[in-house]
């Protein structure tokens, strides 16, 4: 995948998360918020860190994949099959006909299995995605976070690497999310992660 250019420029848009301890999932929390909270609880139990740490790392990935604006509805520049914050690929771009890896459909299947594993209901929107070539640009940020968690907790590699700084994050991204070998794309990811996390660390919580 070639390096992308975005019309809104390169200004870093920091999404700062709170460092306050995350409340435990409570019985009155229902719907997507409760499912996402349970997913984060399972992620933190297995890989450590806090919810704010993971959200910061996810934003660093989105900063590279979707561009500085980090729009959940971002489509791959140039008509490619990448969709959403993390540019999960459809099997085929329905407009351009360009084929992709189908990684979005894999993420849907893994996330469904993951939710069953942790005793959570499968949301209706996720059931709907099981019946189609999934387009993540039609989903909210929170829905895409859930899919990223489910996909990579059940996928290959140590997902905990993303909390170990830009170099480890880039290594994990290259092997288990991007899956390519283009050096310019890999170097850009490293620079984007360093840039985003550096600005993040200078931003008051």
Domain ranges of the chain: 32-202
For the segment 144-173, the average pLDDT, to the nearest whole number, is 97
More confident residue, 22 or 69: 69
Asked whether 89 and 70 are in contact (CB, 8 A), the reply is no
pLDDT of residue 199: 87
Residue 102: is its pLDDT beyond 90?
yes
Q: Which helix (H) or strand (E) covers residue 89, if one does? A: strand 88-89
Token pair, residue 91, equals 């099997």
For the segment 84-109, the average pLDDT, to the nearest whole number, is 96
Nearest-CA neighbor of 140 among 84, 64, 76? 84
For residue 142, name the pLDDT band (cuts at 50, 70, 90).
Answer: very high
* Cβ-based neighbours of 157, under 8 Å, separated by 6 or more: 172, 175, 176
Summarize pLDDT for 17-58 with one digit per residue, the tens.
544 444 444 444 457 999 999 999 999 999 999 999 999 999
pLDDT of residue 15: 55
pLDDT of residue 28: 42
pLDDT of residue 26: 44
Residue 154: is its pLDDT beyond 60?
yes
Instruction: List phi, psi (to 5°) of 99.
Output: -80, 155
pLDDT of residue 11: 54
Q: Which helix (H) or strand (E) covers residue 133, if one does? A: none
pLDDT of residue 5: 47
Residues linked to residue 99 through DSSP beta bridges, in sequence order: 92
Residue 68: is its pLDDT beyond 60?
yes
């Amino acid at each position: 995948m070639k390096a992308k250019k975005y019309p809104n420029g390169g200004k870093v848009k920091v999404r700062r998360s709170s460092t306050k301890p995350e409340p435990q999932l409570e019985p009155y929390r229902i719907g997507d918020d409760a499912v996402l909270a349970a997913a984060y609880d399972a992620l933190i139990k297995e890989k450590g860190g806090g919810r704010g740490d993971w959200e910061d790392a996810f934003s660093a990935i989105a900063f590279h994949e979707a561009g500085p604006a980090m729009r959940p509805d971002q489509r791959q520049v140039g008509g490619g099959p990448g969709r959403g914050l993390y540019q999960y690929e459809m099997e085929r771009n329905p407009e351009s006909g360009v084929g992709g890896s189908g990684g979005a459909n894999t993420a849907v299947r893994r996330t469904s299995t993951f939710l069953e594993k942790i005793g959570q209901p499968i949301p209706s929107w996720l059931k709907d995605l099981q019946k189609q070539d999934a387009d993540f640009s039609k989903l909210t940020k929170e829905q895409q976070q859930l899919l990223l968690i489910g996909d990579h907790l059940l996928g290959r590699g140590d997902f905990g690497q993303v909390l170990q700084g830009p170099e480890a994050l880039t290594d994990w991204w290259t092997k288990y999310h991007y899956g390519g070998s283009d050096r310019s794309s890999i170097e850009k990811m490293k620079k984007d992660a360093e840039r985003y996390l550096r600005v993040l660390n200078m931003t008051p919580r």
